[in-house]
Structures are given as structure tokens and as C-alpha cells.
Amino acid sequence: MANRKTLSGGSAAFHGTRHAHARCVGRALGRAEELCRQRGARLTYMRRRVLELIWDSHKAVKAYDLLDRLSDSEKSVRPPTVYRALEFLMVHGLVHRVDSLNAFVGCSGSDEQHNAQFLICQECGEVSEMDGAMIGQAVARQAAEAGFNVRRQMVELHGECPGCAAK
């Protein structure tokens, strides 16, 4: 086993509504700033704002909700502006697109390129990222055996988080 210093070590964590979420946001923004500094990329006002809004909760956020919320405070925000910011955040691995929901979540995983798996609670909508490198490799291997060239992996699991399952 490689010595991986990720937060989760491959297991996902659900937060529920009652936790110190400001800490999650602070960590995400700090990471974004650090990463952009390292890569010489600019975390512009709009990119940072979009990231903040996505991290408003652990639920996935749709682009038009972002647009709505940005437009309250800044009248002239147009869809391409939001999409460009999202594109930047995705390229730098700061957010992921959850395909089935057509929505975005903040990345809570490692800085390396990673194939995350997503646990999606159908009750409360919380999405948890599972950075299971072995799962990603197994899927890629099986696909390769079929002669399939994988460009992108998106593994989604739909069900109930611990909090909702206990209700």
C-alpha cells in the first residue's frame, strides 16, 4: 500500500446538517488559493464566489441556482460567466460535476488527478466523495480488457446517508 495522505483514506464521510461547516468552507477555499498559487492560476473574484456558493452545503448545486444567487447581488451575471468559472474549477479539480444530477459539488479529495466515486443521499441530497483509488483502477482495468478507451470516470451510488437511514 502506498502511503497516501488523503483526508478520507478512501472512505466517505457524511456531515449531516449539524457540524462546523465554516471549517469545511475555510479548508476548501484555503486549498483553492494554495493550488492556484502553485499553478500560477488566477482565482478571480467570480471563480472564488462560485466556489463559495458551491460549498454553501454538501449538496450538489445546479448551474442555474448559482446564476440565480449570483444575480441577487451582482445584476449583470450571465450564464457564460458562470459556466466559465465552473470550467476553471473543474479543470483544477476543485469541483466535480455529478452527471446524473447535472449539478456540481466541491471536491473534498486529494490534489492529484483522481477518479472519485460519489455517494448520493436520495433523502437529504448530501453528496459525499469517496476517493477510492483501487475502485477507479479496477473499473479502468475492466474497461481496458474490453478494449475500451476511458476518457472520464464517474461512479455514482444512490441511496441513504447514515443520518437519513437512522430516521
Torsion of CA 158, 13, 84, 72, to 10 degrees: 90
Compare residues 66 and 107 and give the one whose CB is closer to Zn ion: 107
Q: Which residues of 17-31 are buried (b: 16+ CB within 10 A; e: fewer)?
A: eeeeeeebbeebbeb
Residues 7 to 36 in contact with Zn ion, rule: CB under 5 A: 15, 21, 24
Nine-digit cell string for 159: 441511496
Q: According to the binding rule CB under 5 A, does residue 109 interact with Zn ion?
A: yes
CB of 145 to Zn ion, least distance (A): 26
H or E stretch at 36: helix 21-39
- Which C-beta is closer to Zn ion: that of 55 or that of 77? 55
Residue (7 or 45) nearer to Zn ion, CB: 7
d(CA 128, CA 157): 10
Nearest to 52 by CA among 37, 36, 34, 33: 33
Contact between 106 and Zn ion by CB under 5 A: the answer reads no
Work out whether 63 is an interface residue with Zn ion (CB under 5 A): no
Cβ distance to Zn ion smaller for residue 77 or 103: 103
Contacting residues toward Zn ion, per CB under 5 A: 15, 21, 24, 107, 109, 116, 121, 123-124, 161, 164
